[in-house]
């Protein structure tokens, strides 16, 4: 009995060590962000003399870009959920031979490299005047959000009994009314999962930010970091402070929505 | 007009079952509603995936360059873009790098991921919490990971070289990202770090679905430890593993962010892949025709694995 308790204790210690190794870079990012400015990284293992100079600089130089990223990510969430939720419902409840074809199309869409989408959208946006615009980036980011959201929402909606909606239909509600009044509220958790991941995808987007903007105006924070890294890095603490600020959504997601994450990872990949 | 037609049609039918007819009309309206459920998503998929694929195919056959944006002219050039990119001396290097990057990343992500998944299957205090915290590297924006690793791998003052020299393992700092001979290894290493959490999560869920009774039955026959893994775990994990491996190839082969953030394809093109080459031709050189040709080659390779993927998922569903 006590033998197995000891063994389990040892496993916990090993588990903590594994985690320390895997998360060391994340720790190092925080540590380096608290160091005094300079183009060398003389930081010790602990921020014994922490300074927030890096954060002050990051906020003054990247604050606007952070706001841009929030707006784009939020816009992507709204647009993706509006488009994906009805489609996911249809793919889960309607009987049609098109369902299989649609799912196949979604799977195949995952094989298409982002650079292909960027190539085509650039030429289209150039004509439509959507380069360097927030709506342009929101639409582009939907390319990662919509297929994922459809798959996540559909895998939940498959479990809804058709009788649920039929009851409302008997009372005279149209299909769409029933969907909004009954299906959406019940699907709240899966909507949250899909929304959180879509936010994260859009927030993390770098490729579209890089290719679909050509001048200063609209610049998501990922692009800001890239430009910091551009040539010789001048102020590591500001770079790392920006990195920490950009990591906040991921960290919040991990802590606040832990139970949704594994569901999202598995649902999006295997389903 | 449509209404009038409908009414006349209804009057002409004048069937003995008005109730049935009403239902028929409601069905027709319902079909329309059903289409409206799917329409926005269908349009989005066509605009975001269908259009780009077609547009890339067309562009790859055109002289689509900077001048096109001013004159609107993109003359057809047949397969010239393909011959240009394939005969370029960088092409074979980009192919080799893409293969090394993909195989190296996946081999290690998978084996380390499997080892960690097996480890976390043993129940111990805090196990679930530790496993979910492990996901953090996968959730971080790729450019954030790139920036962090840039600082860690920095030649003179990065913590990795300082630690290694401090421990006496190396005498001189290793130019991780600045030397053509090690840069690709460093980039692969970072990509492995990013991909491990995803592999752990999927393999862990695959392990969790293996019924406990199989192990109990195996124990009676003396199948424990390695034998249990070889004859119980692995055969039952094969479906998940094959999906994961093929999915890994499809995702890894198109990686761009990490390489651009870490090395930008350098030094001396040591980390150029098909994806970075395609980006450079389109958005640095503004030769969209050539960039499209390269990205179509990338899609063709992905497509081969897509077929494998679909087969693998079908098998996974069947089992």
Task: Answer whether A11 sits within 8 Å of B313, measured CB to CB.
Answer: no
Q: What is the pLDDT of residue B207?
A: 92
pLDDT at B58 (0 to 100): 95
Return the percentage of chain A with pLDDT > 70, whole number. 93
C-alpha dihedral, B44 to A164 to A260 to B40, nearest 10°: 10
Mean pLDDT of B114-139: 90
Query: Which pLDDT belongs to residue B10?
Result: 41
Longest dimension (CA), chain B: 97
Residue B123 near chain A (CB below 8 Å): yes
Q: How many CB atoms lie within 10 A of CB A20?
A: 10
Residue A20: what pLDDT? 94
Q: Which residue of A has its CA nearest to B248?
A: A269
Highest-pLDDT range among A7-21, B20-34, B222-236: A7-21
Strand ranges in chain A using DSSP code E only, listed in sequence order = none
Residue-level pLDDT at A202: 95
CB B299 within 8 A of CB B49: no
CB A221 within 8 A of CB A66: yes
Q: Do A246 and B36 touch (CB under 8 A)?
A: no
At B105-125, the pLDDT tens digits run: 999 999 999 999 999 998 888
Domains in chain B and their CATH numbers?
86-318 (1.10.3720.10)
d(CA B25, CA B10): 10
Nearest-by-CA chain B residue for A235: B151
Residue B5, pLDDT above cutoff 60: no
User: CA B182, CA B100: separation in Å to the nearest integer?
Assistant: 13
Could you give the 3-state DSSP secondary structure of residue A192? helix
Q: Give me the residues of A, 135-174, that contact B with CB < 8 A.
A: 139-140, 142-143, 146-147, 150, 174
Share of chain B above pLDDT 70, in %: 88
pLDDT at A267: 58
In sequence order, what are the beta bridge partners of B65?
A: B287
| Residue A254 CB-half CA count within 13 A | 19
pLDDT band at B13 (very low <50, low <70, confident <90, very high): very low
What pLDDT does A239 receive?
92
- The dihedral of CA B45, B47, B52, B58: what is its sign? positive
Domains along the sequence of chain A with CATH: 54-270 (1.10.3720.10)
Contact A118 B283 (CB under 8 A): yes
Taking CA atoms, B37 is separated from A75, A99, A170, in Å, by 21, 13, 20
Q: What residues form DSSP beta bridges with B287?
A: B65
> Do the chains contact at B288 and A211, CB–CB below 8 Å?
no
Q: How many CA atoms lie within 13 A of B267 on its CB side?
A: 12
Query: Do A23 and B137 lie within an 8 Å CB cutoff?
Result: yes
pLDDT above 60: residue B4 = no
| Model confidence at B184: pLDDT above 90 | yes
DSSP per-residue letters across chain B: -HHHHHHHHHHHH--S-HHHHHHHHHHHHHHHHHHHHHHHHHHHHIIIIIHHHHHHHHHTTB--BHHHHHH----B-TTHHHHHHHHSHHHHHHHHHHHHHHHHHHHHHHHHHHHHHHHHHS--TTHHHHHHHTTHHHHS-HHHHHHHHHHHH-TTT-HHHHHHHHTTS-SS---TTT-TTTHHHHHHHHHHHHHHHHHHHHHHHHHHTS-HHHHHHHHHTT--HHHHIIIIIHHHHHHHHHHHHHHHHHHHTT--HHHHHHTTT-STTTT--HHHHHHIIIIIS-BHHHHHHHHHHHHHHHHHHHHHHHHHHHHHHH-
B127 contacts A12? CB cut-off 8 A: yes
Could you tell me if A87 lies within 8 Å of chain B, comparing CB atoms?
yes
Q: Which chain B residues are Cβ-neighbours of A147 within 8 angstroms?
A: 45
User: What confidence score (pLDDT) does residue A40 get?
Assistant: 64
pLDDT (0 to 100) of residue B1 = 33
* Nearest-by-Cβ selection for B52 from A121, A210, A242: A121
Question: E strand or H helix at A64, and its extent?
Answer: helix A53-93
Average pLDDT over chain B, rounded to whole?
86
Whether residue B22 has pLDDT greater than 60: no
pLDDT the model gives residue A89: 93
A113 in reach of chain B (CB within 8 A): yes
Residues of chain A under the 70 pLDDT cut: 1, 38-42, 231, 259, 261-271
pLDDT band at B15 (very low <50, low <70, confident <90, very high): very low
Whether B27 has its CB under 8 Å from any CB of chain A: the answer is no
Contacts of A86 (CB under 8 A, 6+ apart): A179, B36, B37, B38, B40, B41
pLDDT at B69 (0 to 100): 84
Exposed / middle / buried, residue B141 (Cβ in 10 Å: 0-12, 13-18, 19+): buried
Q: Kindly state the average pLDDT of the residues B215-228.
A: 87
Confirm or reject contact between B69 and chain A (CB < 8 A): yes
**Predicted ipTM of the assembly:** 0.89
Nearest CA in chain A to B198: A265
Distance, in Å, from the CA atom of A205 to the CA atom of A202, rounded to the nearest integer, reads 5
pLDDT at position A85 is 95
Cβ contact, residue pair B45, A243, below 8 Å: no
Q: Would you report the helix, strand and coil content of chain A in percent, each value rounded to 5?
A: 75, 0, 25
| pLDDT tens track for A68-83 | 999 999 999 999 999 9
Average pLDDT over residues B302-318: 72
Q: pLDDT higher for A15 or B6? A: A15
Q: Is the pLDDT of residue B230 over 80?
A: yes
What are the DSSP E strand ranges found in A151-235?
none
Say if CB B134 and CB A254 are below 8 A apart.
no
* Cα–Cα dist B285/B66, whole Å: 9
Which of B203, B191, B193, B196 has the alpha carbon at shortest distance from B234? B203
Question: CB-based burial of residue B231 (10 Å sphere; 0-12 exposed, 13-18 middle, 19+ buried)?
Answer: middle
Report how far apart, in Å, the C-alpha atoms of A219 and of each of A120, A135, A203, A249, B276 are. 20, 13, 12, 18, 21
Residues B150/A233, Cβ–Cβ less than 8 Å: yes
Residue B3 has pLDDT above 50, yes or no: no
Residues 264-283 of B with CB under 8 A from A: 275, 278-279, 282-283
Say yes or no to pLDDT of B82 above 70: yes
Q: Does A240 touch chain B (CB under 8 A)?
A: yes
């Amino acid at each position: 009995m006590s033998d197995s308790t000891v063994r389990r204790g040892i496993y916990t210690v090993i588990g903590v060590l594994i985690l320390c190794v895997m998360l060391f870079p994340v720790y190092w990012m925080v540590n380096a962000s608290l160091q005094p400015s300079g183009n060398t990284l003389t930081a010790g293992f602990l921020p014994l003399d922490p300074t927030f100079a890096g954060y002050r600089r990051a906020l003054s130089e990247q604050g606007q870009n952070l706001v841009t990223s929030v707006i784009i990510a939020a816009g992507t969430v709204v647009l993706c959920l509006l488009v994906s939720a009805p489609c996911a419902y249809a793919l889960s409840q309607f009987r049609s031979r098109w369902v299989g074809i649609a799912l196949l199309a979604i799977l195949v869409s995952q094989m298409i490299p982002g650079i292909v989408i960027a190539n085509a959208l650039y030429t289209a946006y150039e004509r439509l005047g959507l380069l360097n615009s927030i709506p342009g980036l929101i639409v582009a980011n939907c390319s990662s959000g919509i297929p994922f959201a459809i798959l996540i929402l559909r895998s939940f909606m498959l479990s809804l009994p058709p009788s649920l909606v039929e009851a409302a239909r008997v009372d005279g509600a149209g299909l769409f009314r029933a969907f909004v009044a009954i299906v959406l509220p019940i699907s709240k958790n899966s909507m949250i999962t899909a929304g959180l991941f879509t936010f994260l995808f859009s927030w993390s987007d770098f490729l579209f930010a890089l290719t679909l903007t050509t001048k200063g105006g609209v610049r998501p924070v990922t692009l800001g970091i890239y430009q910091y890294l551009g040539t010789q890095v001048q102020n590591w603490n500001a770079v790392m402070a920006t990195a920490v600020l950009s990591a906040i959504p991921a960290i919040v997601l991990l802590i606040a929505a832990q139970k949704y994450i594994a569901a999202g990872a598995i649902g999006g990949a295997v389903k | 007009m449509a209404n009038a037609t409908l009414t006349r049609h209804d009057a002409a039918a004048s069937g003995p079952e008005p109730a049935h007819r009403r239902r028929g009309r409601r069905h027709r309206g319902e079909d329309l509603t059903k289409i409206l459920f799917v329409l926005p998503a269908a349009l989005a998929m066509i605009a975001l995936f269908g259009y780009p694929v077609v547009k890339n195919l067309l562009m790859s056959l055109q002289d689509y360059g900077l001048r096109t944006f001013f004159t609107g002219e993109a003359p057809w050039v047949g397969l010239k873009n393909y011959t240009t990119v394939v005969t370029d001396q960088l092409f074979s290097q980009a192919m080799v790098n893409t293969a090394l990057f993909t195989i190296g990343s996946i081999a290690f992500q998978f084996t380390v991921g499997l080892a960690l998944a097996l480890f976390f299957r043993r129940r111990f205090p805090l196990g679930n919490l530790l496993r979910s915290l492990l996901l953090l590297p996968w959730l971080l924006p790729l450019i954030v990971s790139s920036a962090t690793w840039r600082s860690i791998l920095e030649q003179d003052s990065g913590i990795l070289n300082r630690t290694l020299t401090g421990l006496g393992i190396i005498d001189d700092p290793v130019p991780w990202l600045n030397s053509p001979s090690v840069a690709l290894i460093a980039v692969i290493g970072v990509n492995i770090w990013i991909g491990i959490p995803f592999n752990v999560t999927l393999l862990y869920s695959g392990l969790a679905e293996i019924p406990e009774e199989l192990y109990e039955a195996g124990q009676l026959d003396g199948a424990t430890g390695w034998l249990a893994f070889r004859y119980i775990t692995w055969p039952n994990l094969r479906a998940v593993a094959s999906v994961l491996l093929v999915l890994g190839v499809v995702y890894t082969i198109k990686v761009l962010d990490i390489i651009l953030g870490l090395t930008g394809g350098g030094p001396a093109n040591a980390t150029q892949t098909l994806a970075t080459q395609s980006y450079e031709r389109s958005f640095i050189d503004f030769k969209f025709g050539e960039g499209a040709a390269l990205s179509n080659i990338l899609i063709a390779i992905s497509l081969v694995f897509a077929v494998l993927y679909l087969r693998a998922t079908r098998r996974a569903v069947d089992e």
